[in-house]
A and B are shown apart, each in its own frame.
Chain A
Amino acid sequence: MPNYTNNIQDSKICVILIGLPARGKTLIAQKVVRYLSWLSIKAKSFSYDDYRRVVYGKSNELTLKDRYEECYRWVETAVADMIEWFEEEKGIVGVLDGSNHSESQRDKIEEICRKHDIKPLFLESWFDKPELITNNILDVNSNSPDYSAIDPEEARKDIEDRIELYKKDYTTLDTSTDADKTFVKMINIHQSIIINKIDTYLQSRIVYYLMNFHIKPRTIWLSRHGESMYNLEGKIGGDADLSQRGLKYAQKLPEMIQKLVGPDEQLTVWISTLKRTYQTSQYLPYKKLQWKALDELDAGICDGMTYEEIERQYPEDFKARDENKYLYRYRGGESYKDVVTRLEPVIMELERQENILIITHQAVLRCIYAYFMNVPQEESPWMSIPLHTVIKLEPMAYDTIVSRIKADIPAVSTYKEKGTSQLGESTDSSSSKTRNIITSAKVHSL
C-alpha cells in the first residue's frame, strides 16, 4: 500500500477506545499511533492515566473510589488537549486512551468531536475468555508505571477491584442501539470483530491495521547477514557469498539464538531471496521463510560498485543521495521509500506472528527498525546497524525495549557517513549524523 500523505486534510479522526482495565487499550493506542506515523500521518495518543499520573504521581494515594470518580476530570482535560492539538498542530488522528465505559461520557465526547468536524471512530476491546483476562492483568501488572513499585499480588488485587468498579456503569457497543455510530468491536481480540459504518479511506486503513495485530507478548530478533565478499570489498548490492568470518557468524548463530530465545521456545526465521541471508541462516534449527520483499534495496546501475566508484562515475547521483537519502532512488533501482512500500506485507505479517528472527540487509533492517522504534524519515536511512550483531526488540504497551547482542566475530564496517565515500563510523560525534540505534539500550555479552 502506498504511503498515504495527501488529501487527508478533510478527514480528521478521533479514535475513542472503550474497555475495562486490562483489555490492551494502551497497547492498541500506541500501536495505531506508531503505524500511522510510519505512514507519515500525524497521530497522537492522549492517555487519561498519564494525566492522573502528572497530578498524583505514580504511587496512588487516592482511594479506589476517589480515583474512579476523579477519572471523568481527566477525560475533559484530555479531550480539550486533543482538540487543541488538532487545531494547532494540524493533527490527523487523535486517540483517546481510556476506559470511556459509560454511554453518557461517550456521547459527550462525540458531541465535542462533531462540533470540531472530527469524525469519531469507537474502538472497543471486549474479552469474555477468563484466561485472556488473567494474562492481560499479569501483563499490566509487570509493565504499567502505576505498579512498578508495588507488590505484584497487591497490584493484581488493585486491577481486579478496578475492573469490578468500572463494570457498574459499563455499556458495551451494540449493533442495534449504536447502529449509526462508526465503530469496531473486537471480541477476544480477533476471535470475532464487528465493523460498523466505516466511511472514509483512512478509517478503513486503521481498521485494516487493527485486524492484523495481536497483543500477546513476543520478541522480534533482527540480524544482518554475515559479512559477505562484497562487504570485504566495499561493494554494495549484488548477490555475493559469505566471507570466512561471515560463515563463522552463521555457525555461531544457532548457539547464540538458542541461548537467547530459550530451548523450548518456538521461532520462525525469515530471510530474503539473496544467497547471503540463506547462508547465514543455514545452521539454524528452525522453520525458515524466504521473502522477496526482504531483498536489499536495489541499487540499480550502481549494483556491485563501491561508493568510491559511484562518486567517480555518477557524481551527481552520489550527491543527490546524500542530500535526501530517504527519497533518493538509484537509477534503475529503489529508494528507501520504495522499500517501505514493498515491506508493507512483511510488517503486517510480522504484527500477526509471535517470535520471529529476521535475517536481512542493512537498508531493509533500517526500515523495519524505524517502524518499531518510531524513527523519523530523515534519520532512519542514517542509522548504524553493524554486522555480526543480533538486535532484540520487545514491543510492550508503553514502549519497545531494545537490546543488542554482539557475536564477537570481527567484521568490516559498512557504514557510510554523509558527504564521504569512505566507509567506517567516525569517532567524532559532533560531525556525525549517526544515530546510534541503541543509545539507551543494554549491551549484553555472551
Chain B
Amino acid sequence: MSKEPTPNTAVTMVKDNDPINNNYGSQEVAIEAPHLPGNYSARTSNKWMINDSTTVSSDSLGRGETGEKVSSLQKDEIHSKVSPFKVSPGQLYSTDSGSLFHAGKLLICLTGLPGRGKTHMSVSLTRYLRWLGVSAQVFHFDDFRRQALKSNEISPSFFSQKPSDLEISKIKETVVETCLNNIEDFLLKNNGQVAIYDAINGIAKNRIELQERFNKLSVKVVFIESLIENDNLLANSLKDAIKSPDYEGYDSDEARKDFDKRVESASDSYEVINEVDPTESMVLSYIKSINFGERLVLNRSQYGYLLNRMTFFLLNTRIKKGSIFFARCGDTGNHKNLLFKSDPSLTEKGKAHSKVMMNTLVKLLMNNRNIKESEINKKLMVWTSTRTRTIETGSVFQETYDIQVTQRSEMNQLNPGNIETLTREEIKYKFPIEYDLFKKDPYHVRFPRAESYHDLAVRLEPLILEMERNTKNILIIGHESVLRVLYGYLLNCSSNDIPYLKFPPEEIVEVQYNAYANTSSRIKITEKRT
C-alpha cells in the first residue's frame, strides 16, 4: 500500500442506540497488547438490559407451581407510559435508547369519520408494537377534548371538520395543539419511537400541514384511513361507538341519536384521502383500510421495516367484540409425575370437571352475553394444544354443542429442559449460574435444554395474529405457561410479571375486548345453577 489511510471522520456513523441520527465521526482505536489469561475481553453489551435492583423471590419455573407472589388480575396497561426499563414479551433485543430496527421515528395519523373503528385500530396497533418492544404511545384526540370540555357541553357541530362557529373552532384548535405538543414531547424528549394520533383528520390541507410539521422534526408521517363500504359492518360499528365514555349514563337511543348527529356533522366537511389528485396522492404516505382490513391500499408508504410490520398487522387484525377465555385442562391423576413428554388422559374426575367448566362458560355466554344456546357453536370456538389432556377437555364442547375445536401445535407448553424433575433446592445446587440469573430475570433465563418464556412468546406470535384475526369468542385450553404469555399480550403486561400470572384449574379467566382498553375477570367454575 502506498500510504497509510487515516480514519475517516467526515462519515456519519449511526449507532443502534441512536434515536435517529446522532452524527459523530469514527475515531481511531489503539490496539492493546494481547495474550492475557482468561476471558479478558468479555462481552459488555447484553442482549437484555436487566434491572439489577429487581430480585424476585418467587418460584415459577414453568411447571405451574404455586408462586409466593400471586399476581392478581391486571388492568390493561396499554394507556400507561412505557417505562425505559420495560422489556416487552416479544422483543428480540433491547437498546439503551429504546429505538429499534433503525426505523427512525414515526407518527401514525388515523383518519376517518366517527364510528369507523379508529380508536380500536389505534389501540390494537399500539398493543402489537409494544409487544415487539417498540416504544409506542396512542394519543386519542377525544381524551384531550374531554379534558378541555365536559361531555354534555359538546354540541354535534364540534365534530364538523370546518366548524362555522368561531368559538368552537378556537377551542378545537387549542385541543389539537395540546395533543400535538404532547406527541412532540413523547417523540423528541421521552424516547418515543412511534406515536399514534387517533383523530378524524378530515381535511386534506390539514393533513399535508401535519405531515410537513413533523417531517421538519425528522419524524415520518403515515396516515391510516379507515373506510367502511359494507352497510352491515357500518351498522355494527356505529352500535359499538356509543359505548364511548361520552355517553356514560345516557339511554342508548338518546346516545345513538346524538352520535348520528356527530357523524352527520363530520361527514358534511370530511374529505376522503384523494387517490387521484396529485396534491395529495403524490405527497402523502397513506394506507387505506377498507372494511377493517378486508382491503388495504398502500401509497408511498415504503418507510421501512417498522411500517411494513404494522401493515402486516393490519392485514391480520379485525374489529373484535367478544372475549378470550383461558382455562386449564382437567385432572390427570398424579400431577407429581407429569413430565413434559408424558401425555396422559383425563381421569373420570377430570372429565367431569371439563363438563362443569363447559356449563359454567355456556351459562355465562347465555346469561351475560345474550347468546342463544342454539347459536353457541356460531359464537364460540375452542383451541387446545396437541396434548391428549387438553384435547379431551375441549372435546366435550364438540360433543355437546358441536363447537369447532382446533388443535394448535404452537400451544405446547414451555419446555422445562433439564430442571423438569428437580426441586428448587436441587436447581439451586445443580445450576447455580442460571438460578442466579433466574432470580433477576425469570422471563429471559433458560435452564439447560429448556425454553425461556421469551422463546415461548416468540413461537406464539402466529397464534397471537390468529387471535387478532378472529371475531368469535375463543376458549383457549392450555398449559399455564402458554396462557400467561397470551394473557400478557392482551393486557400489555411487562415481561417481569408474566411468569407470575396465575391460572388455577378451578377458574376461567376472561379477557373482554374493548375498543379503548381490554378488561379481565375471573370466573369460578361451579356446578351451581342460577
Of all chain A residues, the one with the shortest Cβ separation from B316 is A204
User: For residue B8, which residue of chain A has the nearest CB?
Assistant: A285
* Shortest Cβ gap from B419 to chain A (Å): 12
Is A156 positioned at the interface, with any CB of B under 8 Å from its CB? no
CA of A156 to CA of B359 in the docked complex: distance in angstroms?
72
Task: Decide: A229 and B12 in contact? CB cutoff 8 A.
Answer: no
Question: Which of B299-307, B321-329, B473-481 is near enough to bind chain A?
Answer: B299-307
> CA A345 – CA B465 in complex, angstroms?
18
Chain B neighbourhood of A194, CB < 8 A = 295-298
**A102 within 8 Å of B (CB atoms):** no
A183 to chain B, nearest CB (A): 10
Question: Would you call B80 an interface residue if the criterion is a C-beta within 8 Å of the partner chain's C-beta atoms?
Answer: no
Q: A204-B315, A332-B446 are in contact. Are A2 and B11 (CB under 8 A)?
A: no
A290/B35 contact (C-beta < 8 A), A201-B465, A229-B41, A341-B92 known: no
B12 near A283 with CB under 8 A, answer no
Q: Does B6 contact A (CB under 8 A)?
A: yes
Contact A273 B45, beta carbon cutoff 8 Å:
yes
Q: Which residue of chain B lies nearest to A302 when distances are taken between CB atoms in the complex?
A: B39
Given A2-B461, A208-B311, A289-B14, A283:B7 Cβ within 8 A: yes
| A345 to B95 CA separation, bound complex (whole angstroms) | 15
- Assess whether B278 is interfacial by the CB under 8 Å rule: no
CA distance A281 to B305 in the complex (A): 24
Determine the chain A residues whose CB is within 8 A of the CB of B5 once the complex forms: 251, 254-255, 283
Instruction: Write the B8-41 contact mask toward A (1 if CB under 8 angstroms, else 0).
Output: 1011111111000000001111011011001111
Task: Take A241-B29, A304-B38 as given contacts and tell me if A4 and B462 are in contact as well, using a CB distance cutoff of 8 Å.
Answer: yes
Identity of the chain B residue whose Cβ is nearest the Cβ of A232 in the assembled complex: B34
B11 and A285 form a contact (CB under 8 A)? yes
Given known contacts A2-B462, A282-B7, is B38 in contact with A196 (CB within 8 Å)?
no
Interface string of A117-155 (1 = CB under 8 A from B): 000000000000000000000000000000000000000
Question: Which residues in A have their C-beta under 8 angstroms from that of B469?
Answer: 201
A392 to B95, CA, bound (A): 30
B contacts with A, residue count (CB < 8 A):
70
B528 within 8 A of partner (CB):
no
**Bound CA–CA A3/B265 (angstroms):** 49
Residue of B nearest to A212 (CB): B308
**A7 and B446 within 8 A (CB):** no
For residue B306, which residue of chain A has the nearest CB? A345
- Nearest CB to that of B468 among chain A residues? A201
Q: How far is the CA of A255 from the CA of B311 in the complex (A)?
A: 41
Minimal beta-carbon separation of B277 from chain A (angstroms): 14
A1 sits at the interface (CB 8 A) = yes
**A35 CB within 8 Å of chain B:** no
- B41 near A238 with CB under 8 A, answer yes
Instruction: Identify which of residues 212-267 in chain A touch chain B, using a CB-to-CB cut-off of 8 Å.
Output: 212, 229-230, 232-233, 235, 237-244, 247, 251-252, 254-255
A398 within 8 A of B: no
Within 8 A of A (CB), among B326-340: none
Within 8 A of B (CB), among A297-321: 298, 301, 303-305
- B410's partner among A7, A293, A295, A303 (CB-CB below 8 A) is A7
Interface membership of B374, Cβ < 8 A? no
Given the known A-B contacts A194-B296, A233-B35, A252-B1, are A283 and B6 also in contact in the complex, defined by CB atoms under 8 Å? yes
Known: A293-B92, A345-B101, A349-B305. A285 touches B10 (CB 8 A): yes
**Cβ A191 vs Cβ B300 within 8 A:** yes
A212 CB to nearest B CB, Å: 5
- Give a binary string over A326-370; 1 marks a CB under 8 Å from any B CB, 0 the rest: 000101100000000110110011001000000000000000000
Q: Decide yes or no whether B399 CB sits under 8 A from chain A.
A: no
| Nearest CB on B from A78, distance (A) | 28
Bound CA span A235–B469, Å? 48
Complex Cα spacing A432 to B433, Å: 36
Give CA–CA (A241, B34) in the complex, Å: 9
Chain B residues contacting A243 (CB-CB under 8 Å) are 31, 34
Interfacial residues of chain B within 285-321, with CB under 8 A of chain A in the complex? 294-300, 302, 304-305, 308-309, 311-312, 315-316
CB distance from B454 to the nearest CB of A (A): 10
Q: Chain A contacts of B235 at CB under 8 A?
A: none
B contact residues around A237 at 8 Å (CB): 43
Is B56 an interface residue when CB atoms closer than 8 A count as contact? no
A residues within 8 A CB of B17? 290
A282 and B8 alpha carbons, distance in the complex (Å): 7
Return the contact of A241 from the options B31, B39, B316, B461 (Cβ within 8 A): B31
B102 CB contact (under 8 Å) in A195, A235, A289: A289
Chain B contacts for A345, CB-based, 8 A: 92, 100-101, 305
B47 at interface by CB-CB < 8 Å: yes
Task: For A345, give the chain B residue with the smallest CB separation.
Answer: B101
**Interchain CB contact (< 8 A) of A211 among B29, B311, B434, B465:** B311
A174 vs chain B, min Cβ distance (A): 12
Beyond A7-B410, A201-B469, whether A251 also contacts B1 by CB under 8 A is yes
Q: What's the minimum C-beta distance from B89 to chain A, rounded to whole angstroms?
A: 13
Closest to A291 in B: B16
Contacts A247-B31, A282-B26, A342-B92 given: A329-B446 contact, CB under 8 Å?
A: yes
In chain A, what residue has the closest Cβ to B93? A292
Contact B41 A230 (CB under 8 A): yes
Least distance between B386 CB and chain A CB atoms (Å): 9
Of the candidates A4, A295, A304, the one whose C-beta lies within 8 Å of that of B45 is A295
| A284 is an interface residue with CB less than 8 A from chain B | yes
- For residue A196, which residues in chain B have a CB less than 8 angstroms away from its CB? 294-295
Return A414 CB to nearest CB of chain B, in Å. 16
Q: Does A279 contact B (CB under 8 A)?
A: yes
* Given known contacts A293-B93, A332-B437, A349-B305, A193 and B409 CB-to-CB distance under 8 angstroms: no
* Interface residue? A190 (CB, 8 A): yes
| CB contact between B298 and one of A192, A204, A287 (< 8 Å): that residue | A192
Which chain B residues lie closer than 8 Å to A298 at the CB level? 43, 47
Chain A residue nearest in CB terms to B309: A208
| B11 touches which of A7, A198, A275, A287 (Cβ 8 Å) | A287
The answer to whether B4 and A287 touch across the interface, beta carbons within 8 angstroms, is: no
Q: Is A397 an interface residue (CB 8 A)?
A: no
Q: Which of A65-97 contact B (CB under 8 A)?
A: none
A56 CB contacts on chain B under 8 angstroms: none
Residues of chain B contacted by A167 (CB below 8 angstroms) = none
> Which A residues touch B1, using CB under 8 A?
251-252, 255
Chain A residue, CB-CB nearest to B41: A240
Question: For residues 398 through 419 of chain B, which have their beta carbon under 8 Å from a beta carbon of chain A?
Answer: 408-410
Task: List B contacts of A416 (CB < 8 A).
Answer: none
A151–B43 CA distance with the chains assembled, in angstroms? 57
Contacts of A393 in B (CB 8 A): none
Give Cα distance in the complex from A233 to B35, angstroms: 8
Taking a contact as CB atoms under 8 Å apart, the answer to whether A241 and B41 are in contact is yes
Given contact pairs A283-B6, A341-B92, A2 touches B458 in the complex (Cβ within 8 A): yes
CB neighbours (8 Å) of A420 from chain B are none
Which B83-102 residues sit within 8 Å CB-CB of chain A?
Answer: 92-93, 95, 100-102
Closest 5 A-B residue pairs measured CB to CB?
Answer: A304-B39, A240-B41, A208-B312, A6-B409, A193-B298
Query: Which B residues lie at the A interface, using CB under 8 A?
Result: 1, 4-8, 10-17, 26-29, 31-32, 34-35, 38-45, 47, 92-93, 95, 100-102, 294-300, 302, 304-305, 308-309, 311-312, 315-316, 408-410, 433-434, 437, 445-446, 448, 458-462, 465-466, 469
A-B contact list, 18 entries, CB within 8 Å = A192-B297, A194-B295, A201-B465, A204-B312, A208-B308, A208-B315, A211-B311, A235-B39, A241-B29, A273-B15, A278-B29, A303-B39, A304-B41, A331-B446, A332-B433, A344-B92, A345-B100, A349-B102
